[in-house]
Structure 1
Amino acid sequence: MTDFKSSLNEECGIFGVYNYTQAAELTLHGLHQLQHRGHDGAGIVTYSKKNLLNHRGVGLVSTVFNKGIEENLFGDIAIGHVRYATAGKSEIKNVQPFISQPKKQEAPFAYAHNGHIVNSDTLKTELRNKGIEFQTDSDSEILEHLIYEGKHELFEDNLKSALSRIKGAFVYVVLKERQLFIARDPNGFRPVSIARLKDSYIVSSETCTFDMIGATFIHELEPGELVKIDDSGIKKEFYTKNTNLSICSMEFIYFSRPESTIGGVNIYNARKRMGEYLSKQDSVNADIVIGVPDSGIPAAIGFSKESKIPFEQAIIKNKYVGRTFIQSSQELRESSVSSKFSVIKEVVRGKKIIIVDDSIVRGTTIKWLIYLLKHAGAKEVHVRIASPPFKYPCFFGIDIPSTDELIASKMNIEEVCSVIGADSLIYLNIENLIKSINLPKTTLTNNGLCIAYFTGNYPIDLCDCAINL
């Protein structure tokens, strides 16, 4: 991402295990594979002998679980979470999974959430007026109180009623005694899938984790679907019929790992096609094509393939510096970008260069890279972005809360080009983005994609978030 996509609203990762002897250790492996989805906190809850055991902390997975703590989390069922703070500060009380606080003499449950609830203010006000006190700053906690407000006898029915009241983007995983529930919002903004590992079930935000542990993919939840896993097996149903697939296109452009698959589409292949289509929009003469590591590389390869211009690796990324987009403040983003990249002078000196990246949010990173390339002797630097201009805030899981942070919302393409110091600038157009991702949903609006950050047309009512437009 060519810019600190740091305001893109609750990019988190969820992992769950059912019926595996060392569930906590397997969950820990899964969270390591999902670390890119959030750096602010990590946690694991297990179920053992009718008790919920947990450990969570602020920071990276390796920091939170650095002393073999997971070995004390007994049980064959577990859920885990990595967090990027958007709704709620980076404090231990906001690190998930959460454990509920029952009103009556009943067993608590644990839960974790990826997404952003757009009617959270309304729901929180309603619940507080009933005397309910929130223990965290996170919008995720709303589910717990809505469940306890339910009038049904069965926990499962109260869960379905609660999910039906929540608006926005969400994947929830809920651990209640020997039951694991997984729910996806009615638009399917955020992905979640299930796999089998012999007699065990695995749940994950991304399918890349399945390959790592040798699990076999069996199902990606549909919009509005609720899956229950217990000792009798797996049960699928829908808690609502009012669904409209709108998968976040940024999952394909930037968020997800290249080896993951969403909606039947491999992320690497989608990004490569973005580069190919972007090349078809271009006519500039250049000596080499380079990509911005990591998420810009597949698009650069695709651009090179289609244009017949050689691909070179010219930018080296310091992998020990975190993703700039996920830095929680602009000051941190600016300090990290200067130490994040370096250029191989011998590759770029005297060359006309096409540099490909997945997107521009604020322009900070790409501006610095252009400076580095020209300082290293590049003759020309032409910027090609494998997504449309990011003009509008997102309220469904990307921490871009206002247009003030979006350079393309304040400037036209020529002005952005001038500000970042490029010799030319071309973005992938919306039509080619949809073709590149190529979801097999041709009868749906935008082929089942959410592209609101490019068009300003949101697929659902923004509720309490509309004030931020």
Structure 2
Amino acid sequence: MEPLKHECGVAMIRLLKPLEYYEQKYGTWMYGLNKLYLLMEKQHNRGQEGAGLACVKLEANPGEEYMFRERALGTGAITEIFGAVQSNFKDLTPEKLHDADYAKRCLPFAGELYMGHLRYSTTGKSGISYVHPFLRRNNWRAKNLALCGNFNMTNVDEIFQRITETGQHPRRYSDTYIMLEQVGHRLDREVERLFQQAEAKGLKGMDITHAIEDQVDLVNVLKTSSDVWDGGYVICGITGSGESFSFRDPWGIRPAFYYHDDEIVVLASERPVIQTAMNVPDEEVKELNPGEAILVDKTGNIRMAQINEPKKYNACSFERIYFSRGSDKDIYNERKALGSNLVQPILKAIDNDLEHTVFSFIPNTAEVAFYGMLEGFDNYLNHLKISKIASAGHQLKYEELDKILSMRIRSEKVAIKDIKLRTFIAEGNTRNDLAAHVYDITYGSIVPHVDNLVVIDDSIVRGTTLKQSIIGILDRLHPKKIVIVSSSPQVRYPDYYGIDMARMNEFIAFRATIALLKERNKQHIIKEAYKKSKEQQNLPKEQIVNYVKELYAPFTDEEIAAKMVELLTPEGTKAKVEIVYQHLEGLHAACPKNPGDWYFTGDYPTPGGNKLVNEAFITYMEKVYSD
């Protein structure tokens, strides 16, 4: 219900033919630029705090610019950066606008290699200097590097120490900037190695430059840069000499998909984005394997390489539940399965009273799970009808048969997302009052004081919108009971791999658990977990244990959910309220290819996750918790 922020979305385009080819075939040399725009616009759900793009010309002469970048902040950043690029062409005559040779020689952003990025901050840091791509310039074309990614690193301190020990002095303490310097440093070493090799062969001048650019080995650069990285990532980069790469973390946490033919290489964070932009079937779009890279050299040769050895596969399940577009064939079916899996616990919550229950959903991301839930109930109802008819034998009268066959699942669009709250309009209590009206209801959609109301959402993380808006506004319909259903399990632990969920006390499941421990005089469990966490604070990340798990151990999911209801139900609510969560078994049955579930289980895929949850719990205990 509260939008989660996700870092981030990436897109890459590499044209494999000269610009003249696209002008002749598609009527514009801007074919690659236009495809990049489509890829970014179709992924705007992944980042609305900023956007940027970079471009490389492959055929620039000395003295001519060959590497370009444009960045902007805000929800309109995609439009802004592409508008800024197009402003370079607005005064051209039609002849010049369609002259690919002129474009290559004279126009900025008229290149063969493009990279785009959409940003959501998970660190709280904002401003144009934090918007990707990051750029590292040098007089040697092969040493220029632009980098962007969808990632969070859990061991920035370790990486920082490693590169400073080699004599580097980064100007900024952020994971993206440090990674840029790290990859850039290895790229420098690679270029210098080739320079010495060329000199030893007796080459001089531009022959040395050509020899370097023809032999740069980015595989070695990436291997020696990333071996210490702990986190979920898809990193993309382009060099001034026309090399490009994209590679995925060895746990497969963050997703990346690619497509190529004899005209183009395309990469993006989501599969249907490429399908739509390129009009290709899903089977032609491939997914990068964990630890794998796709690389294209300056001549257009494509190769796959294993950068890091694959670890235990832990693709993020929240990608399937929430973040990725539901237009992906597999994700659509998985979200439906998440809804269908909830039939039995919902039946229990409504005492099997389908006749007096109306089903609905919280707009808009829960809609597909809602269809799956309805499908599951339709199947249940069909079995129930068959059972009733079979048990009655041949004694059924027409009216009785009609009554059985007339049984229906009742569904309505009860909740409507009416306005987007503008936080600059008001503060304090006035702002909270506005938040209560983000959603509206369809009056008359249920029978007051008779019907149960079951409303499904994709996740309940913080519970803020439930308390401030949803429960109160649904109660205006006067249902007998309100059942809030989450298609995902209880979010209990922070995420450190790209989702904006980092502070313990933000989670309603965590707050409910702490409340239960206090209520049942089990504060010693909290203190013992803190003591254990504190004792391991200075251990290497590989030795750290997640002791936060011990807080949840005494309680069932249902006990924690019941306490959540107490904490989230607004004063004055007349209907009885219950929260039903997906179980882990249901999640994994619905999303078998994305087993990553650390935000639900605390089983972090990398040692850095345990280290950061340890720090988060210590921070909570020392700043927030009190008896």
TM-score, scaled relative to structure 2: 0.66
Once residues 151 and 55 of structure 2 are traced to their aligned partners in structure 1, the CA distance between those partners, rounded to angstroms, is 22
Matched, 1:314 2:414: yes
Aligned residues: 448
Matched, 1:54 2:202: no
- SS of the residue corresponding to residue 68 of structure 1 reads helix
Once residues 244 and 222 of structure 1 are traced to their aligned partners in structure 2, the CA distance between those partners, rounded to angstroms, is 12
The CA deviation at 1:33 is 1.1
The CA deviation at 1:133 is 4.1
- In the other structure, the counterpart of 2:367 is 297
The CA deviation at 1:61 is 4.1
* C-alpha spacing 1:259/1:135, structure 2 compared with 1 (3 Å): farther
* C-alpha spacing 1:234/1:93, structure 2 compared with 1 (3 Å): same
- SS of the residue corresponding to residue 3 of structure 1 reads coil
Pick the structure with more strand per residue.
1
Percent of matched pairs sharing the same residue:
25
More RCO (CA 8 Å, sep 6+): 1
- In the other structure, the counterpart of 1:138 is 174
* C-alpha spacing 1:87/1:136, structure 2 compared with 1 (3 Å): farther
Matched, 1:192 2:228: no
- In the other structure, the counterpart of 1:442 is none
* C-alpha spacing 1:343/1:402, structure 2 compared with 1 (3 Å): same
- In the other structure, the counterpart of 1:92 is 128
Once residues 211 and 332 of structure 1 are traced to their aligned partners in structure 2, the CA distance between those partners, rounded to angstroms, is 45
* C-alpha spacing 1:11/1:104, structure 2 compared with 1 (3 Å): same
- SS of the residue corresponding to residue 248 of structure 1 reads coil
Runs of 4+ in 1 over 3 A off after TM superposition: 61-64, 101-107, 128-138, 151-155, 230-233, 318-322, 329-340, 376-379
Pick the structure with more helix per residue.
2
TM-score, scaled relative to structure 1: 0.88
- In the other structure, the counterpart of 1:427 is 581
Unaligned stretches of 5+ residues in structure 2: 16-21, 23-28, 61-65, 89-108, 194-215, 379-408, 513-559, 570-575, 618-627
The CA deviation at 1:235 is 0.6
- In the other structure, the counterpart of 2:590 is 436
Once residues 432 and 117 of structure 2 are traced to their aligned partners in structure 1, the CA distance between those partners, rounded to angstroms, is 27
Larger radius of gyration: 2
* C-alpha spacing 1:88/1:406, structure 2 compared with 1 (3 Å): closer
Q: Is the 8 A contact 1:417 1:424 kept in 2?
A: yes
* C-alpha spacing 1:256/1:63, structure 2 compared with 1 (3 Å): closer
Q: Please, which of 34, 37, 56 is the counterpart of residue 25 of structure 1?
A: 34
- In the other structure, the counterpart of 1:180 is 244
* C-alpha spacing 1:254/1:335, structure 2 compared with 1 (3 Å): farther
Q: Counterparts of 1:405-420 in structure 2 under 5 Å? A: 405-411=506-512, 412-420=560-568
Q: Counterparts of 1:220-235 in structure 2 under 5 Å? A: 220-230=287-297, 231-235=299-303
Once residues 433 and 233 of structure 1 are traced to their aligned partners in structure 2, the CA distance between those partners, rounded to angstroms, is 41
Unaligned stretches of 5+ residues in structure 1: 440-447
The CA deviation at 1:142 is 2.4
- In the other structure, the counterpart of 2:604 is 458
Once residues 237 and 428 of structure 2 are traced to their aligned partners in structure 1, the CA distance between those partners, rounded to angstroms, is 34
- SS of the residue corresponding to residue 226 of structure 1 reads strand
Q: Please, which of 125, 146, 151 is the counterpart of residue 161 of structure 2?
A: 125
The CA deviation at 1:349 is 5.3
Q: CA RMSD in A?
A: 2.8
- In the other structure, the counterpart of 1:5 is 4
Once residues 485 and 264 of structure 2 are traced to their aligned partners in structure 1, the CA distance between those partners, rounded to angstroms, is 45
Q: Is the 8 A contact 2:491 2:509 kept in 1?
A: yes
Which of 72-81 and 416-425 deviates more?
A: 416-425
Once residues 220 and 53 of structure 1 are traced to their aligned partners in structure 2, the CA distance between those partners, rounded to angstroms, is 28
The CA deviation at 1:138 is 3.4
The CA deviation at 1:136 is 4.8
Offset from partner CA, 1:409-452 (integer Å, 9 cap, x none):
1211111122222621110100110001132xxxxxxxx51111
Q: Which amino acid aligns with 1:259?
A: S
Q: Which amino acid aligns with 2:374?
A: S
Q: Is the 8 A contact 1:94 1:136 kept in 2?
A: no
